[in-house]
Amino acid sequence: MYRNWNGFNDFKKGKNMIAITGGGTGGHLKIAKIIMKELNSRSIRPIYIGSTKGADREWFENENGFSKKYFLNSTGVVDKKGLKKITSLTNILKLSYHATHILKNHNIKAVFSVGGFSAAAASFAAILTKTPLFIHEQNAHIGALNKILKPFSKRFFNTFIYNDPYPVEDIFFEKARIRKEIKTIIFLGGSQGALQINNFAITVAKELTKKRINIIHQTGKRDYERIKKFYKKEGIQAEVFDFDPNLVEKISKADLAISRAGASTLFELAANQLPTLFIPYPYAAGNHQYYNAKFLVDKKAGFLSTNPTKKELFNILNNANLEEISKNLAHINKKGGAKYMVDIMLKSLIN
């Protein structure tokens, strides 16, 4: 669609560039990577502006899809108090000034923010340089930084509020299937793990085995050895792992998930039509995971419990209309979220 407009060759030569900024956690960084891949598919290699804190470097330091990466010494502001908050704000202002030079040096024509504290410097720099700012807010509850930036953005994408398609890799849709009975449960604690979910799995594992329900368990790196020893001691043949870059294969084998409710995970599970009992992380900013999960529950497309019991889980196993929930999940999101957002961004640059 955009290969015929006059500016396309300039994008390929690097004369007109896109900057992607934000991160800190896997949910934000996952969106950054999907947008990067969509731009790469159009022969555009954006630059990345993130932070030395969080997981930004771990994800992108060796990523060839970016033409250049910058990791600034930025930190969060919301979680700070008193003098530390003032120091952090002062640092963001200094880094924003530095980021204006980065944008100018690369002749950046648009900044795409995926949110998180990593996005602050480049986002403010976009405002200062009058560079079009596009923001993707992942969650049902808008983050503090995005609330500030939203009035200055050229376009503010959000699935919960505006029904924009959420960027999910196509393979989650391609491997989707209707679940009708529960033969396998997957516990998803994320790459860092979720102690609450791990402990809940231990509580119910024996009875699941008695019901001949298979267990797949992502423990996270910190809790892997403890959980692995538990299953071995109890003689339970569970598929236990700490991290797997090809998580979709394990998700696709499951008939029910028990998971946190980060937006990227939630929409990946929805795309795969996998019914899920969501256990929101209680300390997430603005309690956004609770509202993410409630979005599905209100559409009869999932379950929610802040502190699940064995009784709650087995009530789902014995009484839930799994097929109806799985079918309802098909209407939550649609393919092409990244293409949709990149189309809008690039089109705005030629109008």
Residue 217: the pLDDT is 97
Residue 76: the pLDDT is 61
Query: At 292, which helix (H) or strand (E)?
Result: helix 288-297
Burial class (CB in 10 A: 0-12, 13-18, 19+), 41: exposed
Alpha-carbon gap, residue 50 to 320, rounded angstroms: 43
170-329 in CATH: which number?
Answer: 3.40.50.2000
CB 183 within 8 A of CB 213: yes
Give me the architecture of the 8-167+336-348 domain, per CATH: 3-Layer(aba) Sandwich (3.40)
Residue 1: the pLDDT is 44
Phi/psi region, residue 318 (left: phi>0; alpha: psi -120 to 50; beta: rest), is alpha
Determine what percent of the chain falls in helix, strand and coil, rounding each to the nearest 5.
Answer: 45, 15, 40
| CA dihedral for 281, 27, 337, 254, sign (positive or negative) | negative
Residue 147: the pLDDT is 95
Neighbours of 162 (CB within 10 A): 10
Neighbours of 177 (CB within 10 A): 11
Residue 189: the pLDDT is 82
> Beta strand 68-72 with 303-304: parallel, antiparallel or unpaired?
unpaired
Residue 174: the pLDDT is 97
Residue 25: the pLDDT is 86
- pLDDT tens track, the chain, 351 positions: 444 444 555 555 555 699 999 998 888 999 999 999 999 999 999 999 999 988 999 999 999 999 999 999 976 656 555 666 566 767 888 999 999 999 999 999 999 999 988 999 999 999 999 999 999 999 999 988 999 999 999 999 999 999 999 999 999 999 999 999 999 999 998 766 689 999 999 999 999 999 999 999 999 989 999 999 999 999 999 999 998 889 999 999 999 999 999 999 999 999 999 999 999 999 888 899 999 999 999 999 999 999 999 999 999 999 999 999 999 999 999 999 999 999 999 999 886
Neighbours of 258 (CB within 10 A): 25
Tokens of 134: 């596009």
End-to-end CA distance of the chain: 14
Question: Among residues 309, 58, 65, which one has the least CA distance to residue 192?
Answer: 58
pTM for this prediction = 0.90
Alpha-carbon gap, residue 321 to 68, rounded angstroms: 49
- As annotated, the residues of the chain forming the CATH 3.40.50.2000 domain(s) are 8-167+336-348, 170-329
